[in-house]
C-alpha cells in the first residue's frame, strides 16, 4: 500500500529561513521537492561536497589510505614470488649459491637440466632429484671436461636457469617477508582504530551538508530575495506534527493534495510479511504515487514460484535453518546481510510446496515405503488430459496470475483515468477471463450446450465492441478497428508466450529433484551392498556421506539461484507487463539529520 501524502508550500522571510530549515530537519518528516537535476548537479559547491563524500566513503570501504594498502600489496607480491622461487629451487636440494659462483670462477661451468626420467642417460651428468616422472641433473664442464653427446642432451633435456638461492634460503626470505606483512597489517589496523570513527562522523556530516545544499538550491527566491519559497511532501500520518511545528514557528504555508503532475514521493505501508518482499519491488523500480503498490500481490506469488522452482521439502528445511542463522547473526555473509527473514520464509514455503510435489532431499516420497500413506494422498501425481499434473498446475497458476494482472490493470487504470478511457482494457479482461470462467463452469457443472454457446457469443460481442469500436472514444471508428487489430496481434502472441513461460516452474523443480536423486544414487553406489571388512565399510560410508553432503549443497545452491532469478523474470516481465506497471517513482526521503 502507498501512504497518502500532503503537498506543502512554505513561504519564509529570508532572515528566518535558515532557522526554519533547522527546525524542518530536526523534525525530519518533509520530503523536499528538488529542482531539475541540471540546476542542482552543475553547482560547484555541491559537486565539491559530493566528491568529498565519495572520497570519505571510498576510504572507509577500502579501510586505509592508498599508501598503506600499496605497501601491504607489495609485500604480499614479494611473498608470492619468494614462495614460487622456493618451490622451483626445492628440486635442487640444499646448496650454496656462492659456492657455485666460486666453482664457475675456478673454470667449472654448472649447467642445470630436467628431462623425462625414462629419457635420462648417466653420461649426461649427476642426478640431483627425481620428481613427477622428471629427473633433475647437473652437467659439470671445464676445458678438459666436455659432454660427449651435446646434441643428444639438448634434444631430450630442458635447460633450467641457475637457482639464485636454495629452497631453505628462500623459505627464510618468506619468513622475513611474513614479518613485514604482519607489521603492515598492524599499521593498517592501528590507522583504522585511530581514524575510522572520525571518518564515519565526517561522512555523516558531509551527507547532511549535501542535503542542506540540495534543499537550499531547491529554494526559490521571491521579492528580490526577501522571501524564500520551498515545496515538499509529508505523509498524512505525520501531518499533525508538521502543522504543530509550523504554527509554533509562525511560518506561512499552504497544504494541498498532490496533483497528477507533481513529483510526489511514495512511502510504502505494508504488513510484516509483505515488507520482506519490498526489496524485490525496489529492484525493478518503485511505483509512482498515482500507481498501485505491486508488493502485496508480488509477495505471495513470488513465494509460491520460488517454492515450486526449488520443489524439495528437505531443501526448504535447509533454507529455514540458513535464514534463521543469518537473522540471529550466527553466521555473517555480506551478500546476504538483512535477507535472513525472507530466506527463512522462502524456506518455509519450499517445505510446504515440496510436500505437495512429493520430494524430500531428492527422495520420491510417493514411492517411499516409510512415508505415511495419509501424507501421500496430498502429493500431486498422475496426469490431466495426458499431461503431467504438476506441469498443468504450473500453467494453470500462470493463467490465473496473468488474468489477475489484467483485472488489476483494468481497475487501477479506471480509477486513474476513468472507465471511458479504458474500455479496451476491460474488453480484453472480459474476453479472456469471461471465456475461461465460462468454459470451466461448463465442464464442471455440465451446462447445456446452448447456454454455453450463448454466453460465449455474448462475451465475444461485448469484448469486440470494447476492443475494436470504443477503444479510443472520439476517434474515427476505422482507425479504432485498425488499432484493435494490431492490439489483437500483440495480445495473442504475447499471451501465448507469457503463459508458456510458467512451464519453467515445473521444469526447474523437476530438474532439481532429478539432480538430487542422482546424488542419492551415487551415494548408494559407493556404499554398495553392505558387504566387506569393517574398515572398508567405514571408508565407503564416509565416501557416501561426502557425496551426499557436497552433492545436495551444490544442488541447493544451483536450485536456489534458479528459484531466485526465474520467479523474478515471471514477475518483472509477464506480470508487470500485463498489469501495466511502470515503476518510475521516487521513494520518500525526508530532510532530516
Per-residue pLDDT of the chain (593 residues; tens, 9 = 90+): 899 999 999 998 888 888 999 999 999 999 998 875 545 556 677 777 778 788 888 888 788 888 888 899 999 999 999 998 888 888 888 777 778 778 877 888 888 899 999 888 888 888 888 888 899 998 888 877 777 777 888 888 889 887 778 888 888 999 999 999 999 999 988 888 888 888 888 888 888 888 888 888 888 888 888 888 989 999 999 999 999 999 888 888 899 999 888 889 999 999 999 999 999 999 999 998 988 899 999 999 999 999 999 999 999 999 999 999 999 988 888 788 889 999 999 999 999 999 999 999 999 898 888 888 888 888 888 888 788 899 999 999 998 999 898 888 888 888 877 787 878 888 888 888 888 888 888 877 777 888 888 888 888 888 888 778 777 776 777 777 787 788 787 777 777 888 889 999 999 998 998 999 999 899 888 877 767 677 778 888 888 899 999 999 999 999 999 999 999 999 998 899 888 888 888 999 999 88
Q: Contact 69/247 with Cβ under 8 angstroms?
A: no
CA 315/CA 309 separation, integer angstroms: 11
Provide φ and ψ at 196, rounded to 5°. -60, -50
| 360 CB-contact burial (10 Å; exposed 0-12 / middle 13-18 / buried 19+) | buried
Cell numbers for 377: 494422498
DSSP state of 293: -
CB-count exposure of residue 302 (10 Å: 0-12, 13-18, 19+): buried
Three-class SS of residue 383? Answer: strand
Q: Which long-range contacts (CB under 8 A, 24 or more apart) does 237-243 make?
A: 237/3, 238/29, 239/6, 241/27, 241/29, 242/8, 242/27, 242/29, 242/30
What value does the CA radius of gyration of the chain take, rounded to a whole number of Å?
37
Dump strand ranges (E) for 375-477: 383-384, 387-388
**Helices (runs of H) and strands (runs of E) counted in the chain:** 21, 13
Q: Phi, psi (5° rounding) for residue 227?
A: -120, 145
What grid cell was written down for 514?
532429478
SS3 589: coil
Query: What Å distances lie between residue 345 and 258, 282, 319, 350, 560, CA to CA?
Result: 37, 19, 9, 9, 14
Phi/psi at 232 (nearest 5 deg)? -165, 175
List CB contacts of 10: < 8 A, sequence separation 6 or more.
20, 228, 229, 230, 231, 232, 246, 251, 252, 253
pLDDT at 562: 92
Residue-level pLDDT at 38? 46
Beta bridge mates, 387: 384
Is residue 375 left, alpha or beta, with left meaning phi > 0 and alpha meaning psi from -120 to 50?
Answer: alpha
The span from the CA of 246 to the CA of 236, in Å, is 15
Helix (H) or strand (E) segment spanning residue 136: strand 134-141
Could you tell me which of 540, 544, 554 has the C-alpha nearest to residue 520?
A: 544
* Rounded CA separation 51/45 (Å): 10
pLDDT in tens, 474-530: 677 777 778 778 878 777 777 788 888 999 999 999 899 899 999 989 988 887 776
What whole-number distance in Å separates Cα of residue 17 and Cα of residue 28? Answer: 16
Domain with CATH 3.30.70 in the chain: 5-63+196-256
| CATH code reported for the domain at 5-63+196-256 | 3.30.70
Whose cell is 565526517? That residue is 202
All three cell numbers of 441, joined, read: 463452469
Whole-number Å distance between alpha carbons of 520 and 427: 52
- The SS3 of residue 473 is coil
The rounded Cα 261 to chain-centroid distance in angstroms is: 33
In which region does residue 554 sit, left (phi positive, over 0), alpha (psi from -120 to 50) or beta (all else)?
alpha
Show the CA angle centred on residue 466, arms to residues 461 and 470, nearest 5°: 125
Pick the closest to residue 432 from 503, 495, 501, 498 (CA basis): 495
DSSP H or E stretch at residue 538? helix 534-569
Please state whether 260 falls in left (phi above 0), alpha (psi between -120 and 50) or beta: alpha
227-265, pLDDT tens digit by residue?
A: 889 899 999 999 999 999 998 888 888 999 998 888 899
Determine how many CB atoms are found less than 10 A away from the CB of residue 436: 13
Give residues with Cβ within 8 angstroms of 434, minimum separation 6. 459, 463
Q: What angle do CA 178, 184, 186 make, to 5 degrees?
A: 105
Amino acid at each position: 500500500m502507498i501512504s497518502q501524502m500532503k503537498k506543502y508550500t512554505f513561504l519564509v522571510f529570508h532572515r528566518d529561513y535558515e532557522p526554519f530549515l533547522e527546525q524542518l530537519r530536526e523534525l525530519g518528516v518533509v520530503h523536499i521537492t528538488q529542482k531539475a537535476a541540471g540546476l542542482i548537479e552543475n553547482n560547484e559547491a555541491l559537486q565539491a561536497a559530493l566528491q568529498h563524500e565519495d572520497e570519505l566513503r571510498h576510504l572507509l570501504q577500502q579501510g586505509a589510505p592508498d599508501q598503506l594498502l600499496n605497501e601491504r600489496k607489495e609485500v604480499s607480491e614479494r611473498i608470492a614470488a619468494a614462495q614460487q622461487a622456493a618451490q622451483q629451487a626445492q628440486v635442487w636440494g640444499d646448496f650454496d649459491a656462492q659456492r657455485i659462483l666460486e666453482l664457475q670462477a675456478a673454470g667449472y661451468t654448472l649447467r642445470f637440466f630436467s628431462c623425462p626420467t625414462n629419457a635420462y642417460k648417466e653420461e649426461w651428468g649427476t642426478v640431483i632429484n627425481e620428481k613427477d616422472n622428471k629427473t633433475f641433473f647437473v652437467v659439470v664442464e671445464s676445458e678438459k671436461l666436455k659432454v660427449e653427446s651435446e646434441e643428444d642432451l639438448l634434444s631430450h633435456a630442458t635447460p633450467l636457469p641457475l637457482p639464485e638461492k636454495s629452497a631453505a634460503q628462500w623459505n627464510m626470505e618468506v619468513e622475513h617477508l611474513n614479518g613485514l606483512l604482519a607489521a603492515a597489517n598492524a599499521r593498517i589496523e592501528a590507522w583504522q582504530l585511530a581514524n575510522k570513527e572520525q571518518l564515519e562522523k565526517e561522512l555523516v556530516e558531509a551527507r547532511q551538508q549535501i542535503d542542506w545544499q540540495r534543499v537550499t538550491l531547491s529554494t526559490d527566491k521571491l521579492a528580490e530575495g526577501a522571501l524564500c519559497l520551498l515545496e515538499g511532501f509529508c505523509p498524512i500520518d505525520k501531518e499533525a506534527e508538521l502543522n504543530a511545528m509550523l504554527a509554533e514557528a509562525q511560518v506561512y504555508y499552504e497544504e494541498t493534495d498532490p496533483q497528477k503532475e507533481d513529483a510526489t514521493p511514495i512511502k510504502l505501508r505494508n504488513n510484516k510479511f509483505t515488507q520482506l518482499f519490498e526489496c524485490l519491488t525496489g529492484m525493478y523500480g518503485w511505483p509512482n504515487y498515482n500507481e498501485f503498490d505491486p508488493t502485496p500481490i508480488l509477495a505471495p506469488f513470488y513465494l509460491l514460484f520460488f517454492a515450486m522452482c526449488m520443489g524439495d521439502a528437505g531443501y526448504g528445511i535447509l533454507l529455514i535453518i540458513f535464514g534463521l542463522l543469518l537473522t540471529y547473526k550466527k553466521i555473517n555473509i555480506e551478500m546476504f546481510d538483512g535477507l535472513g527473514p525472507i530466506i527463512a520464509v522462502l524456506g518455509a514455503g519450499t517445505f510446504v510446496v515440496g510436500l505437495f510435489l512429493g520430494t524430500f532431499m531428492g527422495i520420491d516420497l510417493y514411492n517411499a515405503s516409510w512415508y505415511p500413506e495419509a501424507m501421500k494422498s496430498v502429493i500431486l501425481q498422475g496426469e490431466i488430459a495426458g499431461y503431467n499434473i504438476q506441469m498443468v498446475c504450473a500453467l494453470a497458476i500462470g493463467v490465473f496470475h496473468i488474468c489477475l494482472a489484467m483485472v488489476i490493470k483494468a481497475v487501477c487504470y479506471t480509477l486513474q483515468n476513468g472507465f471511458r478511457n479504458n474500455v479496451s482494457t476491460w474488453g480484453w479482461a472480459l474476453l479472456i477471463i469471461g471465456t475461461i470462467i465460462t468454459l470451466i463452469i461448463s465442464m464442471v457443472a455440465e451446462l447445456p450446450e446452448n447456454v454455453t454457446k450463448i454466453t460465449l457469443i455474448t462475451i465475444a460481442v461485448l469484448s469486440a465492441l470494447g476492443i475494436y469500436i470504443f477503444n479510443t472514444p472520439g476517434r474515427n471508428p476505422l482507425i479504432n478497428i485498425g488499432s484493435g487489430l494490431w492490439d489483437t496481434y500483440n495480445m495473442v502472441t504475447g499471451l501465448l508466450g507469457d503463459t508458456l513461460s510458467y512451464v519453467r516452474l515445473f521444469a526447474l523443480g523437476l530438474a532439481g529433484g532429478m539432480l538430487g536423486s542422482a546424488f542419492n544414487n551415487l551415494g548408494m553406489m559407493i556404499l554398495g551392498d553392505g558387504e566387506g571388512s569393517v574398515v572398508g565399510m567405514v571408508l565407503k560410508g564416509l565416501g557416501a556421506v561426502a557425496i551426499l553432503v557436497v552433492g545436495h549443497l551444490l544442488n541447493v545452491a544451483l536450485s536456489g539461484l534458479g528459484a531466485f532469478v526465474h520467479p523474478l523474470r515471471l514477475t518483472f516481465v509477464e506480470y508487470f507487463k500485463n498489469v501495466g506497471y511502470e515503476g518510475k517513482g521516487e521513494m520518500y526521503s525526508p530532510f532530516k539529520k
